[in-house]
Amino acid sequence: MTSSFGKVAAIAALGVIAMAAQAEARDQIRIVGSSTVFPFATVVAENFGKATSYKTPVIESTGSGGGLKLFCQGVGTEHPDITNSSRRIKKSEVELCASNGVAEITEIKVGFDGIVLANSKKAKHYELTREQIFLALAKEIPVDGKLVANPYTKWSQIDKSLPDEPIEVLGPPPTSGTRDAFVELVMEHAAENIAFLKDLKKSDSKKFKQVYGSMREDGKFIEAGENDNLIVQKLEANPAALGIFGFSFLDQNADKIQGSTVEGNNPTFEKIADGAYPVSRSLFFYVKNAHVGVIPGIQEYVAEFTSTKAAGQEGYLTDKGLIPLPEADRKKYESAGANLTKLVL
């Protein structure tokens, strides 16, 4: 009779064999996640594929939230090896990973990005405050001491100094890290500085969160999916519209679109790097440590991404619009990648 220990050992052995068989079936790194990090990861992947004997990684733009959900589904070659994110991983996502056996994750911060509100160069340039943006895009706003459905249809109704144009803003869906960061850096910040909502935060924090986190659903705010290039094309076709996306897409399409000023600061490389532009955030990717050594080239890809030649002050990613980390921070994450330092929140 086979002992229970023998059965467990046999099952474990079968698991190792299955993993090995799957590894033979996949010899390419699989990456998912943020549409903002996607163009940077793509350039790194192309350079990595050309300069090494490894295959060029396959990268899918799923949005930060969608990527982390896929990444945390489990260990095994049917699951992604790396996920890109334009916000930091949440505690709940680390817990989801752990519950599915993804126990060791390495966090790599790659640089900074600004979130812009851009429009066609054929249209007027916008000079906005975060409060004005909130009043244009929130589903409910305070009027005469109570919350009402957003009544504004034109920017000029919010402030006479703004263009007399219909409010139409193309933005990312809830699965996007850009959406998460925009809500935090613009909508929440503005709500905290409006007296009625400041009081609401004290009396009913749950309702306060609902108010700043809920975008209009009456056609004034339009979810345009995870494809930021598509938003750029739509802005060209409709000069009255504004679009929300990362600075790199503005930088790459500067001949067609212009970034709005936010609280007196234009979204430029310099102003995002020094923190003057208020709507900026950090960019990350996360590595599934259990896949290193199973899928060929993961650590070498991470080394390329964190290298001076890619992510340094004069690295090739700056040509694509990445705002680089200070050199000491870049070295810190280069070391984390080399040592597979386990993330601890």
Place of tokens 């056996």: 101
User: Alpha helix (H) ranges present in 59-217?
Assistant: 64-71, 91-99, 130-137, 155-158, 177-182, 189-191, 195-203, 205-213
Contact 297/45 with Cβ under 8 angstroms? no
Whether pLDDT at 2 is above 50: no
Q: Mean pLDDT throughout 231-237?
A: 88
Task: Give the Cα separation of 259 and 118 in Å (integer).
Answer: 4
Contact 40/322 with Cβ under 8 angstroms? yes
Whether pLDDT at 249 is above 90: no
Per residue in 143-189, pLDDT (tens digit) is 999 999 999 999 999 999 999 999 999 999 998 899 999 999 999 99
Amino acid 1: pLDDT: 47
- Sorted by sequence, the CB contacts under 8 Å of residue 265 that are 6+ apart come out as 271, 276, 277, 278
Per residue in 70-122, pLDDT (tens digit) is 999 999 999 999 999 999 999 999 999 999 999 999 999 999 999 999 999 99
Helix or strand or coil: residue 83?
strand
First CA to last CA distance, the chain:
47
Average pLDDT, the chain: 92
Amino acid 175: pLDDT: 87
β strands within the chain, DSSP E: 30-33, 58-59, 82-85, 105-120, 127-128, 140-143, 146-149, 169-171, 221-223, 242-246, 257-259, 261-262, 280-288
Whether pLDDT at 7 is above 60: no
Task: Give the Cα separation of 231 and 218 in Å (integer).
Answer: 19
Whether pLDDT at 35 is above 60: yes
Partner residues linked to 59 by β-bridges = 31
Amino acid 9: pLDDT: 53
Contact 260/317 with Cβ under 8 angstroms? no
Tally of residues, the chain: 345
